DNA sequence: TTTAGCACTCGACAATAGAGAGTGCTAACA
DNA sequence: TGTTAGCACTCTCTATTGTCGAGTGCTAAA
């Protein structure tokens, strides 16, 4: 267990390092208002803290920097979210003011304001399509051989996909199929569409139409489509301003990951309702070793919808970022719930 | 006018600089197989070429590097497109093999293969939505106050947008409107929808429905939507491997532009049928001063659809890139024409 | 237990020197 | 007259050295 004084000093060092990005020496700690010990005393404590694994030295005659364990302790025990400034609150609310911009636009705007408030990189996932249910399905022929299939969900989300048409199928038949589908599948979660198709629906269709096999293939293809959630970024280049990323090689490795939506989704996705903080290697991706990721989830009517998150250096302003994320995720949930409740 | 020998030397220098990214000295030029003059002679010629503005010196005791004017001359007079290797042809065709992937997927794949073949960054624009015509329009109510409007084009492209519903409108009325729209607007280019609405259609609607004003607002909003063409990237981080971008500050400026679809679109868009090459400052964007952009257009049935392009250092392998772009753009046009012709 | 004092360590920075690549000029050569 | 060899000169790059300062860790005194 750490003593009161050790906590004080650990807190001071992390605080200092977060703002100045430079190893913190005993002298500069002792100069702080809230600390009244001599540098020598602090040196002893720092030495102990290092032995315990909370601090480390870049080299023998530099100051100390927080270790990953140090940040973890700080985040778990020392930190309290910072209250938002009027400006910050104002900025966030301006996103939600425009009552009828599309959901995707709201989310994109959220990402933007997050990054501009924090000056880190923001990432917003979702909404997760497969949790929503089918509102309507349409299949519109484009040429003799292809059609575009459109799926509308209860949340107003639209998915579409081009599919090959069975040869020789006629418009009436196609219409019949679509009617059956709409009748039988309305309200079914997208994730269950394929299953329903292979069970009940298949049998019904078999009775009514000629081109059964190729039609089933077509529908399967339609329902298979985009499972992955959309990824929205804000301030993608903000992270480059951090001294941690002054090396292009590292930038490249980082951006290679950010370009892959599937990876980003995996990395940021959170199901835990509330704030999640992952520090350095806790992210399990080498290029993120010097980064922390803070995420919060948003929901509609209490149902989990997606994740908003911030990517910054491990040396990130945790209290402020947490405050902002918490506020925004709650506001976003409120807005979406109001708009899309049944 | 340049002499035969000056051309030879200019060509040799650019060639060398393109592959090695280092100032080229007289000695290394004289060592090339196709050149049989002494370094001294070459020095004299280089001095002349510099005076004429085709070469420049980083400093007084380095070799020469091509100037922007040098590249321009090279591109206009010296270069001939390189034939594709079997591998390259194979790579490109693999993109087009999957007969029924969606148009957007084909385009995304094209971007990917382009970047992996050239190891530069590739950018594909389009297809340009507003050139295509309306196939079908739908308005599907999502809640009491909002609906999602869906526009399908003759190319199978789907646009959708959430719009507020006029208060108190009933389903039948909405259906009536949609029917009228479909009847009157089928085949109309998207770009003319708003105009048509304010002229003929408006009058017809006025007769039939109650909530005329708010309905018109709704439709206007629907038709207003996405004018901008989509931007697809491949190998966005490839450009970071170039020594020109070893400086993070520069990377940041470049990526800030690439993040803005509208800017990218402006920068890359080409209407000229064929290959366009923009070198360095010809791009009119400071962060692109050391970059060249090569673009080609693709079309459907001879109608201009979009642009495929490569972003690389000015020191780019022009002959190879031009060859590849030419091949791919033609193949892409062929595929799309086959699929979407009337 | 805390603190002052002091020797020691290490990185950052500037100054210096030497190597190497390349040029430009001059004079000799074909 | 065009080409080439020779050579002094220029400039960058790298390695080396020395100095400075920040910071530590230890010891001994308060």
For residue range B85-116, what is the model confidence (pLDDT) as tens digits?
A: 999 999 999 988 876 667 788 899 999 999 99
- State the alpha helices, DSSP H only, in chain A: 4-20, 26-30, 39-51, 68-73, 86-97, 103-118, 171-185, 193-196, 202-208, 212-224, 248-258, 261-268, 318-340
Q: Is A193 helix (H, G, I), strand (E, B) or coil?
A: helix
**Is the domain of A235 the same as that of A333?**
yes
**In the structure, how far is the CA atom of residue B250 from the C1' atom of nucleotide D11, in angstroms?**
26
% of chain B at pLDDT higher than 90: 61
Chain B contact set for A98 (CB, 8 A): none
CATH classification at residue A196: 3.30.390.60
What distance in Å separates the CA atoms of residue B300 and residue B232, rounded to the nearest whole number?
19
A16: nearest Cα among A32, A38, A39: A32
Instruction: Say if A102 is an interface residue toward chain B (CB within 8 Å).
Output: yes
Q: What are phi and psi of A277, to 5 degrees?
A: -125, 125
Q: What are phi and psi of A321, to 5 degrees?
A: -60, -40
**Is the domain of A159 the same as that of A300?**
no
Digit-coded pLDDT (tens) for A183-227: 999 999 888 888 888 888 888 878 777 778 888 888 887 887 656
Are B150 and A150 in contact (CB < 8 Å)? yes
B61 touches strand D (CB under 7 A): yes
pLDDT level of residue A127 (50, 70, 90 thresholds) = confident
pLDDT level of residue B232 (50, 70, 90 thresholds) = very high
**Is the domain of B236 the same as that of B121?**
yes
**Of B208-212, B224-228, B254-258, minimum mean pLDDT range:** B224-228
Judge whether residue B199 has pLDDT over 80. Answer: yes
Structurally, chain B folds into a number of domains equal to 3
**Is the domain of A36 the same as that of A165?**
no
**Is the domain of B251 the same as that of B298?**
yes
**In the structure, how far is the CA atom of residue A248 from the C1' atom of nucleotide D18, in angstroms?**
33
**Is the domain of B108 the same as that of B145?**
no
Interface of A with B in 251-290 (CB under 8 A): 251-252, 255-256, 259
A303-313 β-sheet, strand order: A231-234, A121-125, A303-313, A291-300, A276-279
% of chain B at pLDDT higher than 70: 97
What's the rounded mean pLDDT across residues A320-338?
A: 94
What distance in Å separates the CA atoms of residue A176 and residue A205, rounded to the nearest whole number?
9
What pLDDT does residue A258 have?
96
Q: Which of B36, B52, B78 is the last residue of a domain?
A: B78
pLDDT level of residue A338 (50, 70, 90 thresholds) = confident
- Residue of chain B whose alpha carbon sits nearest to that of A255: B237
Q: Measured at the alpha carbon of residue A20, what is the angle toward residues A14 and A26, in degrees to the nearest 5?
A: 60
**In the structure, how far is the CA atom of residue A40 from the C1' atom of nucleotide D19, in angstroms?**
26
Instruction: Say if B178 is an interface residue toward chain A (CB within 8 Å).
Output: no
Digit-coded pLDDT (tens) for B122-180: 999 988 776 788 999 999 998 888 889 999 988 888 888 888 888 878 888 889 889 99
**Is the domain of A124 the same as that of A233?**
yes
What's the rounded mean pLDDT across residues A148-172?
A: 86
Instruction: Say if B245 is an interface residue toward chain A (CB within 8 Å).
Output: yes
pLDDT level of residue A331 (50, 70, 90 thresholds) = very high
**Is the domain of B254 the same as that of B331?**
yes
How crowded is residue B168: how many other Cβ atoms within 10 Å of its Cβ? 10
Strand intervals (E) in B116-209:
121-125, 134-141, 146-153, 158-164
Digit-coded pLDDT (tens) for B256-314: 999 999 999 999 988 889 999 999 999 999 999 999 999 999 998 888 889 999 999 99
What's the rounded mean pLDDT across residues B18-39?
A: 93
Residue A159 contacts by C-beta under 8 Å, 6 or more apart in sequence?
A: A129, A150, A151, A153, A225, A226
A119: nearest Cα among A257, A16, A236: A236
CATH classification at residue B26: 1.10.10.10
What pLDDT does residue A64 have?
96
Cβ burial of A263 (10 Å; 0-12, 13-18, 19+) is middle
Q: Tell me the average pLDDT of chain A.
A: 90
What distance in Å separates the CA atoms of residue B162 and residue B156, rounded to the nearest whole number?
20
Which residue has better confidence, A179 or A212? A179
**Is the domain of A9 the same as that of A135?**
no
What distance in Å separates the CA atoms of residue A42 and residue A27, rounded to the nearest whole number?
8
Token couple for A6: 């050790």
Q: Which of B208, B224, B240 is the last residue of a domain?
A: B224
**Is the domain of B332 the same as that of B240?**
yes
**Is the domain of A116 the same as that of A205?**
no
**Is the domain of B123 the same as that of B243?**
yes
Chain A contact set for B160 (CB, 8 A): 158
What's the rounded mean pLDDT across residues A272-299?
A: 94
* Residue count of chain B: 342
% of chain A at pLDDT higher than 90: 60
Interface of A with B in 120-139 (CB under 8 A): 135-136, 138
What pLDDT does residue A231 have?
94
CATH classification at residue A303: 3.30.450.40
What's the rounded mean pLDDT across residues A146-152?
A: 91
What pLDDT does residue A336 have?
86
Give the domain extent around A121: 86-128+229-340
Tell me how close the Cα of A221 comes to any Cα of chain B, in angstroms: 10
CA-to-CA separations, A129 to A164, A223, A295, A335, A337, in angstroms, rounded: 24, 12, 19, 18, 16
What pLDDT does residue A309 have?
97
Digit-coded pLDDT (tens) for A13-27: 999 999 999 999 999
């Amino acid at each position: 267990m750490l003593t009161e004084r050790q906590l004080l000093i650990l807190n001071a060092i992390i605080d200092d390092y977060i703002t100045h990005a430079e190893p913190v020496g005993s002298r500069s700690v002792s100069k702080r208002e809230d600390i009244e010990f001599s540098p020598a005393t602090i040196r002893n404590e720092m030495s102990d803290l290092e032995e315990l694994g909370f601090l480390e030295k870049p080299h023998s005659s530099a100051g100390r920097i927080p270790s990953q364990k140090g940040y973890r302790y700080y985040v778990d025990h020392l930190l309290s979210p910072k209250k938002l400034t009027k400006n910050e609150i104002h900025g966030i609310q301006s996103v939600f003011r425009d009552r009828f911009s599309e959901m995707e636009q709201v989310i994109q705007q959220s990402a933007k304001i997050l990054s501009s408030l924090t000056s880190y990189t923001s990432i917003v996932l979702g909404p997760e399509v497969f949790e929503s249910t089918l509102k309507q399905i349409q299949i519109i022929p484009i040429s003799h051989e292809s059609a575009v299939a459109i799926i509308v969900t209860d949340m107003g989300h639209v998915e579409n996909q081009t599919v090959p048409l069975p040869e020789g199928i006629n418009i009436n038949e196609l219409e019949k199929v679509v009617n059956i589908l709409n009748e039988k599948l309305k309200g079914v979660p997208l994730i269950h569409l394929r299953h329903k198709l292979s069970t009940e629906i298949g049998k019904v269709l078999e009775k009514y139409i000629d081109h059964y096999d190729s039609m089933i293939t077509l529908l399967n293809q339609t329902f298979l489509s985009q499972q992955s959630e959309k990824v929205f970024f804000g301030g993608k280049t903000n992270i480059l301003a951090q001294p941690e990323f002054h090396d292009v090689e590292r930038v490249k490795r980082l951006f290679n990951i950010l370009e892959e939506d599937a990876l980003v989704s995996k990395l940021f996705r959170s199901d835990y309702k509330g704030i999640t903080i992952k520090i350095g290697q806790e992210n399990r991706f080498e290029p993120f070793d010097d980064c922390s990721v803070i995420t919060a989830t948003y929901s509609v009517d209490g149902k989990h919808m997606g994740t908003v998150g911030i990517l910054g250096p491990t040396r990130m302003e945790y209290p402020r970022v947490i405050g902002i994320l918490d506020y925004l995720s709650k506001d976003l949930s409120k807005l979406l719930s109001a708009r899309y409740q049944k």
